A and B are shown apart, each in its own frame.
Chain A
């Protein structure tokens, strides 16, 4: 038990009708445990009113996105010793750019609805997706093998995006990355969706999405690649129009 660290955990709270405040908790936790363990310990032993989202505990479900010490993190894979020291303080806040329902739980409804609207294939041929730390599709993958795309739909990229900070209509990095990754039959419609003021052209290239992405999505790079595709599409339309006009 001597290995336990004493920590102060500050959590930004909100309850409808009560407003906002910051709760401070003193806990003891092993430094190799994770931020989600700290939150669960607080809920279990100190404050049953604390609301937060979680599910899988191993960065597959994407449910436990939070801001930890001002950075978007998946709490389940953010190790205590990597973000503080013995006797230190951790600040936990809900994700930004989405409405807070209660405490650390935000309303991701519009985020999920947009991804549903895009309707991209979440299982794709392995050769059409990148592997490891790569960005471009790994065409060496054998035919006939399919796998899930990398995006966990955790919303960290949406929270970190400075363009999303001032526009509620902006599609956001996850949705635009989904369009870039997609090869489904409705691809032309998706490009129409992305080729708009609140689509790929709203991005300011801060790459904050890529900085916080816990998976292998590289949304910033994908938005830039999507722009190239949109420009190529516009040029091809112009060339065709020119051919029709001038025979």
Chain B
């Protein structure tokens, strides 16, 4: 359904991240897409860091020192949260794809979020040394 010449674009990827008017399933879609894009970006970073091994141990050790910087640690927490959200929300989408829980999408989404945040909090507390 391409646009008429001169007609304003009424489609575009910005619709993915437009929160206005979204309901349960729409929020689930938005969360999964953002987490998925974030994890794809992380994968590239991860491969770049692993590529440092080819430059010798000093190069990699330099990165390991950088990994203790609070910004990198915060990024690590975000990656864990993204994995958990994408995973649990993915299970929700799998279930709804088989017609299970379609009428209670918001409840399932909240449950996926609570699980992801709960396990994420456990991970953060372990990182902080509160839990051993």
Docked-complex contact B7 and A100, CB < 8 angstroms: yes
Interface residue? A71 (CB, 8 A) = yes
Interface of chain B, helix or strand or loop or mixed? loop
A208 is an interface residue with CB less than 8 A from chain B: yes
Instruction: Judge if A187 is at the interface, Cβ distance under 8 Å.
Output: no
The B1-19 residues at the A interface (CB cut-off 8 A) are 1-4, 6-8, 10-13, 15-16, 18
Report the count of interface residues on B (CB-CB < 8 A): 32
* Residue of A with least CB distance to B105: A207
Residue A199 at the B interface, CB < 8 A?
Answer: no
A 9-43 to B, binary, CB cutoff 8 A, 1 in contact else 0: 00000101101100000000000000000000000
Interface size class of A (residues with CB under 8 A): 35 or more
Given A205-B97, A207-B25, A208-B25, does the pair A165, B8 have CB atoms closer than 8 Å? no
Would A205 and B7 be within 8 Å (CB), given that A69-B21, A70-B21, A99-B1 are in contact? no
CA gap between A94 and B10 in the complex, in Å: 8
Q: Which of B10, B23, B96 has the most CB of A within 10 A?
A: B10
Question: Which of A99, A168, A210 meets B4, CB within 8 Å?
Answer: A99
A98 at the interface (CB under 8 A from B): yes
Q: A166-B12, A228-B98 are in contact. List 20 more A-B contacts (CB 8 A).
A: A94-B10, A98-B1, A99-B7, A99-B10, A101-B4, A101-B7, A158-B1, A162-B26, A165-B15, A168-B1, A205-B97, A206-B26, A207-B26, A207-B102, A207-B105, A208-B22, A220-B25, A224-B96, A224-B97, A227-B97
